[in-house]
A and B are shown apart, each in its own frame.
Chain A
Amino acid sequence: MKTEVFFLFLSLFLFTSCSSSSNDAEDVYTPIPASLNIPDLFQQKLIAPLVPNNNPLTEEGIALGKKLFFEKRLSGDNTQSCASCHNPQNSFTDDTRFSDGIDGAFGTRNSMPLFNLAWNFSDRFTWDGKELGLERQALEPVRNPIEMHSVWTDVVNKLQQDSQYPNLFLRAFGTSTIDSTLVTKAIAQFERTLISGNSKFDQHLLGTAQLTAEELNGFNVFMDEAKGDCFHCHGSDNNPLWTDNAFHNNGLDNTFTDLGLGDVTGDPNDNGKFRSPSLRNLIFTAPYMHDGRFATLDDVINHYSEGLKSSSTIDPLMKKVQQGGVQLSAQDKADLKAFLLTLSDNNFVSNPDFQE
């Protein structure tokens, strides 16, 4: 009996060993799992970021995504990459009101900055929320005729013919056969690593930096329901995203030429609503609003103070619309601007991990 059991185990061992050898022969590479570099304040204050189960982060996937983010062959004439409109030095937006595509055509929306995207739990991206998920979002600009104006089959062919990409895909995803799904998965992995959480205000909250009296007053204006009342839509010292990632009509127009969320949902109650952008890194991201209509932060503050326009879908949080806005004093405006600039994260825009 004992002898039989011994031979049974021996056979199993040999069989397993053979099986392993055969895998080695196929040269299957297992990518190295990666995790996000989450700032202390985010760990303390926020729930864990969203990473889809079907696209886990790996070192190889992130590195490939970064290479693809700066890859100009994603465009029809090989002149534009994602970074052309999402420049790291501008907190991953650009400095123009509208961006021009490869044919010189301009869009109608301001390029959105890219950071802290894994904390957008609604998973609705872009100004109007039409893109569900980062992976799906990355599909769109490539084939948009006024942006990169390409077709995915051409892009895939170009990458497949490259001397490096097939092997990089093999290491990241276990196959050297490239397709648009894997390209966008890699780009989304890289985008999720774009985390900004080291501004002066973050340091102030962590006790390593001190705000000036003007900056502190500006923060109070931001948080005071009777003054700026910015916190209901734009986060707070307890929500370091500085956005609610929700959709609001913030009183820009009496009538709409761009329906925003309403164009996506088909619900007239959503007309004129756009996603609240984060207030981090404003120093790098001018011009402002979905259509880049405000060139400066002063213009933005003046809008909320005196420039609100009523419409059927204006958010009730724009509570002083009948008076034109919240009527801030010149000092409060200046201090509010000073506070907003404390949300600038210089390390983020110069982070070598995010440069080409």
Chain B
Amino acid sequence: MKIRLLVILCLSFFIRSCSDDSDIVIEPVAITLNFSHAWQDTEITSADFNDIKFPNANGEELSIERLRYLISEITLTHESGVVTTLDDYTLVDVTNSENLSLTTSATILPGNYTGISFRFGFSNDNNTDGVYQDLNTASFNVPGMLGGGYHYMQFDGKYLDTNSAEAPFNYHAIRAVDITDPNNLVFQDTSFQVSLGEIIVGNNTNVNIQMDIYEWFSTPNLWDLNVLNTVLMPNSDAQVLMSQNGTSVFSLVNIIQ
């Protein structure tokens, strides 16, 4: 009996040893996207909110009081050409310093990727009205009369108008919709992809990304808050301008393994 046990133990040991030597198991890994925020070259946090101290490109001084935005569709292109899109999304809430990092629940194989990108907002395919319970609970919805779905960004604050009086602005980005005929809404997908370039994915990859809030008001469309300040959700043209300005807002700070 004892001899038989000894044989079994030895066999088990050898089989395990063989297995370890011959198969290199590469486990899929998650990646983490970290979001920081700046006004031009100065990094800011919610501690900088509520003070009218940020001059935009058009010369208006403004404050930030609420800023939260939606990130989705993290896409990686492997050097082999295989494209992987991870279905994760997150509502980055700068006001409350919540969800400033997104660690993907889906995983990919480590290796060299020729590109990583994410989407600002939801693509039309994913912008389905009412289906995301966490975003409903966070009251991030877009009214049905504008086609439903979700905000891409809610950015509220105050600026000094031409009379130097404080006035509110609600820079709310959503899918552009022409509501000229309420029975025939015409949509334009104004979410956009942000490409961050090449990436080597290892076991603990952190992608550090910065949003330069100044850019929402500057490039390519100089934003005049005295003209475009509130009720921008039903303003299809304003939504297109926001989307165009958004493309220069995000940049890669670095990738840390």
Contact = CB atoms under 8 A, between A and B. Distances in A.
Interface stretch (A62-70, A156-164, A310-318, A333-341): A310-318
Contacts of A238: 129-130, 136, 141
B124 interface: no
Contacts, number: 80
B143 A231 contact: yes
Interface stretch (B9-17, B71-79, B162-170): B162-170
B50 interface: yes
A224 interface: yes
A323 B184 CA distance: 32
A331 to B, nearest CB: 18
Contact of A316 (B139, B156, B231, B233): B156
A46 B141 CA distance: 12
B66 A316 contact: yes
Interface in A271-321: 310, 312-321
A121 B133 CA distance: 13
A225 B233 contact: yes
A224 B146 CA distance: 9
A47 interface: yes
Most buried by A among B50, B136, B169, B230: B136
Nearest to A234: B139
A77 interface: no
Given A224-B143, A317-B168, A46 B137 contact: yes
Given A317-B156, A317-B170, A236 B141 contact: yes
Given A119-B137, A238-B136, A269-B50, A316 B158 contact: yes
Most buried by B among A223, A241, A320: A223
A237 B142 CA distance: 10
Interface string A217-251: 00010011110010111011111010010000000
Contact of B137 (A239, A314, A319): A239
A223 B145 contact: yes
Most buried by A among B136, B139, B154: B139
Interface residues of A, number: 35
Nearest to B139: A244
Given A223-B145, A317-B168, A319-B168, A231 B139 contact: yes
Given A316-B168, A319-B230, A45 B144 contact: no
B149 to A, nearest CB: 10
Interface secondary structure of B, over-half rule: mixed
B231 A226 contact: yes
A45 B170 contact: no
A149 to B, nearest CB: 36
A236 B137 contact: no
A322 interface: yes
Interface string A110-146: 0000000001010000000000000000000000000
A5 to B, nearest CB: 13
Most buried by B among A220, A224, A226, A239: A239
B168 A220 contact: no
A331 B152 CA distance: 33
B121 interface: no
Given A226-B231, A317-B168, A47 B137 contact: yes
B157 interface: yes
A52 to B, nearest CB: 18
Given A47-B134, A224-B145, A316-B157, A236 B139 contact: yes
Contacts of B139: 231-233, 235-236, 239, 244
Most buried by A among B134, B143, B230, B234: B143
Contact of A121 (B49, B66, B137): B137
A223 B146 CA distance: 10
B65 interface: yes
Nearest to A46: B137
Nearest to A233: B139
Interface in B168-191: 168-170
B179 to A, nearest CB: 10
A226 B168 contact: no
B125 to A, nearest CB: 19
B145 A316 contact: no
Given A46-B133, A269-B50, 19 more contacts: A44-B130, A45-B130, A46-B136, A223-B144, A224-B143, A225-B234, A231-B141, A236-B141, A236-B143, A237-B144, A239-B137, A244-B138, A313-B50, A316-B65, A316-B168, A316-B170, A319-B168, A319-B230, A322-B167
Q: Which 9 pairs, one residue from A and one from B, show the smallest C-beta to C-beta distance?
A: A316-B168, A319-B230, A223-B143, A316-B156, A269-B50, A238-B130, A238-B141, A244-B139, A238-B136
28 contacts: A44-B130, A45-B130, A45-B133, A45-B137, A46-B136, A47-B133, A47-B137, A220-B145, A223-B143, A223-B144, A224-B143, A225-B170, A226-B231, A229-B231, A233-B139, A236-B141, A239-B139, A241-B137, A244-B139, A269-B50, A314-B168, A316-B157, A317-B156, A317-B170, A319-B229, A319-B230, A321-B168, A322-B167
